[in-house]
Structure formats: structure tokens, C-alpha cells
Amino acid sequence: MRYCKGLPGTIGNTPLIYLTWPSERTSCAIYGKAEFLNPGGSVKDRTAKFLIEDAERKGLLRPGGTIVEGTAGNTGIGLALVGNACGYRTVIVMPETQSQEKKDMLRLCGADLRLVPAVPYANPGNYVRYSERLAQEMGAFWANQFDNVANRTGHSHTTGPEIWDQLEGQVDAFACAVGTGGTLAGVALALKERNPKVRIVLADPLGSALYSYYRCGVLKAEGNSITEGIGQGRITCNLEGAPIDEAVQVTDVACLEVIFNLLQHEGLVVGGSSGINVAAAMQVADILGPGHTIVTILCDCGTRYQSKLFNPAFLKAQNLPIPDWL
């Protein structure tokens, strides 16, 4: 008999998809790891599982306990679903600017959702810092996805080796955006351990400070982006010491071109972070030249952003392109 024991057992081992349009445009082989096929709809299901299992091992989570976390949405959804399966209550703190679809999904999962103003990390009211205080007040487990390195360790033990095995070691570069840094750092560690020559490229939207940091050594943000859950103004613990070779910056226009083409020509409905990732992989392909193999992450499904990325009124208000078919 072959089966999964509950929802946590279904997380991970996602397929790798050859992306035809980006590959043909660049004369390279570009692959996307289909993390949107996780049960909660995103790569953050892995993070949730890693954090919960690590807390259980350390005795920080006991039967009937409560998990508190600050999240742009997807980690909260993963924590709520894995928490439900394991008997935990979940309290989620999220910036009020995030998509309505993610808010609705969190409530559907039974999470206690607390919305707060979107303010910088330096502000005590920032959603991450607010969640830390709330966890202390409640005597609950604070998942702390940004600085809890169980996040990147989990990716180095699962996501990275999965990519290596799926490509049979034939990978030249890995490109990925950063929210917590767990996915990029964990996969980077796994791939570099197997082949130090694999290029690790940080993909950054406008409005994030990481592109400047890895190019010039200074945390400096310029511009803004409609993408959610990625971009960072500090070096998180998950990102510290990550073997990153270079960084590329991706505009919202380039991101949307990818999203709309993947949907129209390949039937893949993905969100903004996936658009940033694939656009970055295409930049890396142009840098390396024809014949190389680049892999990235398809983080979540575009239905989670239908009110924004696929809303003509929203796109028009942001002076962004609207495809004819939308």
C-alpha cells in the first residue's frame, strides 16, 4: 500500500516543469519547480512543515498549542493547514495591503487573522515585530520564519536535493527571489554542496534592498512593486552566509509579461513571485548564453492574486500593461 499519512505527508516532491516559452526565448533550458502544487498552494507549505516539526522536536510546541506568525499570507496558510492536521491553533498577523484572496483563505482555514498597517520593519507596528510581541503575550510558539533557520535547513534537505535529482545533476544556475531567504539559501547550500560551480542568483523586485546589497554592499531600496511576499530590506538569519554569486533586478512589467505568457501559452496560472523568478531565470540565461540549464521556483498559484494581477482596473491604476485577452 502506498499512501500519505495526513496532509503533512503530501508536502514536497513537486514536479519540475520545462518552461517552453522562456526556454525558446533564451535558447536555454529553463525549468520551474511546481511548488504551487503543494496542498496549501505554495512553497510556504514546506516552510510551515519545517518550522512545526522543528518546534515539536525542541519541545516548543506541545499538543493543543498555539502558533503565532507574521506573514504576507502563504506561510500563514501553510501553518494553519499543517497546524489543523497536527492539532494546533494558529494566529496570523498580516499587513492589510495583501490580497483579499489570501485573507479569505486564511479565514477559511480557521486561522485567527489579525490585520495591521503595512509599515517598515524598523517600526514596532511592523507585522513581524507585532507577531513576536503577540506570541510572548499569549505564551505561544512564534514561528519566526524570517530568522528561524529551520526554514532554510528544511529546503537544503528537501527542495535542493529534489531539484538535483530531477535534473540528474545537470544544472548550471538557480535563480530565486527572497522573502525570508529560506528557499534561496537552502537550495543554494544543497546545490553548491553537490557542485560548487552552480551559479546562485538572487532575483529582486523593485522596492527591495537586496539587489543593491549584493551588487554594491549597501542595503538601498529604489522604486516599488505590486508583487507580494518577496523583497526584503534586511539580511535575515536565513539569508546570512548564503552562497549567492550575483543578483538581478526584475521590473513589474517584465514580471507580468512572464505571468501572462505562461498562462496563455503554457496553461500555468502563477503569482507575482513566480513571474519575478522566471524573468530572472531568463536574465541569467542571457548572461550565461545558449545551451545552459537554469532552474527556478514557481512559488504559488495566480488565483491567489486574481483581484490584482488579473484585474484590468488594478493594472490600469498602476500604469501596467493589460493583455488583450483579459
23-56 CB burial, b ≥16 within 10 A, e <16: beebebbbbbbbbbbbbbbbbbbbbbbbbbbbbb
List, for residues 136-155, the tens digit of each pLDDT value: 999 999 999 999 999 999 99
Residue with cell 530590506: 233
Residues paired with 296 in a beta bridge: 32
Q: Which residues have C-beta within 8 Å of that of residue 127, sequence separation ≥ 6?
A: 70, 71, 93, 94, 95, 116, 118
Q: Which of 99, 116, 142 is the last residue of a domain?
A: 142
Q: Both 25 and 62 in a single domain?
A: no
Active site residue 58: no
Q: Both 111 and 181 in a single domain?
A: no
Which among 5, 33, 44, 102 is annotated as catalytic? 44
Q: Which of 89, 110, 142 is the last residue of a domain?
A: 142
State residue 5's pLDDT score: 86
Number of domains in the chain: 2
d(CA 165, CA 244): 21
* Residue 60 amino acid letter: L
pLDDT over 90, % of the chain: 98
> What's the mean pLDDT in 61-84?
96
For residue 144, give the DSSP letter.
-
* Residue 249 amino acid letter: Q
Of 326, 159, 178, 184, the C-alpha closest to 259 is 326
- Contact between residue 154 and residue 46 where contact means Cβ atoms under 8 Å apart: yes
Helices marked H in 90-234 — which ranges? Answer: 100-108, 127-138, 150-157, 159-166, 182-194, 210-216
The DSSP line for 222-266 is: -S--S--S---SS--TTTTT----EEEEE-HHHHHHHHHHHHHHH
Residue 68: CB atoms within 10 Å: 27
| Res 2 pLDDT > 90 | no
Give the SS3 label for residue 90. strand
CA atoms within 13 A on the CB side of 10: 14
Residue 308, in any domain of the structure: yes
pTM recorded for the entire structure: 0.96
Residue 127, in any domain of the structure: yes
List, for residues 249-277, the tens digit of each pLDDT value: 999 999 999 999 999 999 999 999 999 99
136: containing domain: 44-142
CATH of the domain at 244: 3.40.50.1100
Q: Both 38 and 57 in a single domain?
A: no
